[in-house]
Structure 1
């Protein structure tokens, strides 16, 4: 199926590694022109170069997502480079304190993750909205998480931030819908990758006295499909919601988790 994304201008936050890099490569493979935003531009450059080697344009712009003026400047630089913005994909985010109860979480820890995971998306959407409204079209995809759909003990700050992102998504969907702009949220569950293999799995194996392979099997057993999500699964969901194939879909929370959030 042709998703019709050829030459679309896509702004992606958090493109340097993990899901962000996979999503960046996926949009590049669809023939998009990319504006890649983040604080560490040197970390983003290798991914941008991969896209350029395929013949597609990719610019890298410094941006502190917690600073509204920085987001405004990055969006302005994107429009100067490409003339428009068709798609915004908000991937950047943090995990916050892990294994702490709400009572153990400090106010600073809570504020830090909420500021990054909620304010960052708010700033970028607020910056691109006038451009998309003038165009009469646009697609915005926020990457949330299933802990923002079911909650999670020991992850209060992160869970709260992702619940908040769902509210941001739905409110903007209502406000921007009359202007032909779709706003949706992809909610990944546990995703296979460096953090999963080097931190999550060894921690469970140590705590339960089992092997890493047994820990992976335990994680998979929690999901209806009995398998772990890949970066490519999340990237494909973002492509779907960024394309006109999903033209009648807005305000959606789309779990990409093998069936954990619905259990």
Structure 2
């Protein structure tokens, strides 16, 4: 209470002050929101992406060259991920957090008989190998330090079928499996390993299956309308910031005894079945 009797608003305590984080796919969408939120909470951040212009724009907009850097890296290439981790450590002295966010949805394939195996391999290469590369090389730094937080982006498709192409759903199930298995190994080193599974979020990724000229504001509005109607929690639109907040929690010491978890950010979507319309 101030001397004038007015309650002053307290400034939120930075939850990542002094922490060093690497975020893959941090140039746009959910990844960009994670970068911005981490920065606001005091983290030093390396953005790893293949979208150089967007990645550099995020850095420039944050206007903090000392604490936010960009590194061109393809998560499907182990050497790129290894070099990105080394670059981060060389620049900031350590690595406390890695967020394996980079991912792709792949093209719709409603008939398994027509599935393109090269497309299947591409999705698994980014969504599974990319995550594993991040886990492996983060562990290389974190094990000697006996601490660290590894957070990967999964999806509601990690626990339920029928929400996307086979490759995408299979890859997100694999991310969950890797999360549990790597958590089992790294627990003895004090390293926490978790994933976050959001419901549908309106980002460029959600429009990736459309031709470039079809990725319009109307298409995004249609996506929001559809996911809103199909969702369980009504009156609330899931945004990239909601997902970023979940990642922040798992990355921070607020979640210091949480490991091997799959944090659902889905408004109860995967916990209920409204097919019989008992409550609708």
Match of 1:84 in 2: 94
CA distance in 2, matches of 1:85, 1:35: 10
CA distance in 2, matches of 1:109, 1:73: 27
User: Which digits, 9 at most, give the CA deviation of each residue in 1:90-117, with x for residues without a partner?
Assistant: 1100001224333321111111101110
Kept in 1: contact 2:157–2:164 (CA 8 A): no
Match of 1:157 in 2: 167
Determine if the alignment matches structure 1 residue 181 to structure 2 residue 203: no
Kept in 2: contact 1:132–1:138 (CA 8 A): yes
Match of 1:207 in 2: none
Which of 17, 29, 36 is the matching residue for 1:6?
17
Kept in 2: contact 1:32–1:56 (CA 8 A): no
Structure 1 gap ranges (5+): 204-210
Match of 1:220 in 2: 228
Which of 221, 232, 235 is the matching residue for 2:241?
232
What is the CA-CA distance between 1:187 and the residue it aligns to?
0.5
TM-score by length of 1: 0.89
What is the CA-CA distance between 1:32 and the residue it aligns to?
0.6
What is the CA-CA distance between 1:44 and the residue it aligns to?
0.3
Match of 1:133 in 2: 143
Kept in 2: contact 1:10–1:34 (CA 8 A): yes
Over the aligned positions, Cα root-mean-square deviation in angstroms equals: 2.3
What is the CA-CA distance between 1:197 and the residue it aligns to?
7.8
Determine if the alignment matches structure 1 residue 115 to structure 2 residue 125: yes
Match of 1:40 in 2: 51
CA distance in 1, matches of 2:68, 2:268: 34
Which of 5, 9, 30 is the matching residue for 2:41?
30
CA distance in 1, matches of 2:114, 2:207: 26
Structure 2 gap ranges (5+): 1-11, 273-280
Q: Which runs of 4+ in 1 moved over 6 A?
A: 197-200, 211-215
What is the CA-CA distance between 1:38 and the residue it aligns to?
1.4
Indicate how the Cα distance of structure 1 residues 190 and 215 shifts in structure 2: closer, same or farther if over 3 A, else same: closer
TM-score by length of 2: 0.83
Determine if the alignment matches structure 1 residue 52 to structure 2 residue 63: yes
Indicate how the Cα distance of structure 1 residues 73 and 248 shifts in structure 2: closer, same or farther if over 3 A, else same: same
User: Which digits, 9 at most, give the CA deviation of each residue in 1:24-73, with x for residues without a partner?
Assistant: 100011011001111232220111122234x7611111211111111111
Kept in 2: contact 1:228–1:258 (CA 8 A): no
